[in-house]
Amino acid sequence: MLLDEPFSALDAPLRARLRHELRDLQQEVAATMIIVTHDPEEAALLADELLVLEGGRVLQTGPVQAVFSRPANELVARLLGAENIGEGIAAAENRIAIEGGGTLIVGGPALQPGMRVGWSVRPERVRLSASGRYEATIESIAMIGSGCEISVRLGRTLLRVLADHSDGAMTGPGRLDIDPGSLQVWQFDGAARGG
């Protein structure tokens, strides 16, 4: 069964409901489904395997978790919705020495120490916390809807963080936590910057 952008023209609540209904249907039907989508959340929810294309070229294939956690390069990471992109050097199998100082702990497959890597984390996966693992500098806070968007500098990387109003963040020195499993990491090639 081929589904080409099946939810693109729907409003958000209906889209969310139908995605979950399709996921339930996938469990009941013994048929292969090919779903074409530009939405990384949709791909993560509905796919077992991903085929990432750009301009008709295959950029990466594999199981969903493997592709999301270790994109082949920055372009694949961006196509999968990567935000908050930084660079560093793999300092150990599960650590990245980031530009500007500090070390990130990462989950997923082992890194090759000494390899130059790119990394990213989604804004909702960064948490401000007084007892957080990482030292950072809170640069600005903007109220949006029912929460706030906070700009935080971690090393040389400026991160966009989404938080609740109740977090009580103030500009200046602070601390944050990032779940190691939420970091995407790829071998850095420097080719995709800017988009």
Domain that holds residue 134: 82-187
161 is a domain residue:
yes
Percent of the chain whose predicted confidence (pLDDT) is above 70 = 94
**Average pLDDT, integer, range 150-157:** 94
User: Has residue 192 been placed in a domain?
Assistant: no
Rounded to whole angstroms, the Cα distance separating 106 from 104 reads 6
Collapsing DSSP to helix, strand or coil, 184 comes out as strand
Q: Is residue 193 part of a domain?
A: no
Over residues 132-140, mean pLDDT = 93
Q: 115, 121, 149, 147: which is closest to 134 by C-alpha? A: 121
In a domain, 136, yes or no: yes
Q: Please state the domain count of the chain.
A: 1
- Give the CATH number, domain containing residue 160: 2.40.50.140
What does the pLDDT look like over 73-93, one tens digit per residue?
999 999 998 889 999 999 999
Query: Is residue 8 included in any domain, yes or no?
Result: no
State residue 2 phi and psi, 5-degree precision. -110, 125
Assigned domain for 28 exists: no
- Of 78, 84, 109, the closest CA to residue 162 belongs to 84
- Whether 65 is in a domain gets the answer no
pLDDT tens profile 3-61: 899 888 889 889 889 988 988 888 888 888 899 999 988 998 899 999 999 999 999 99
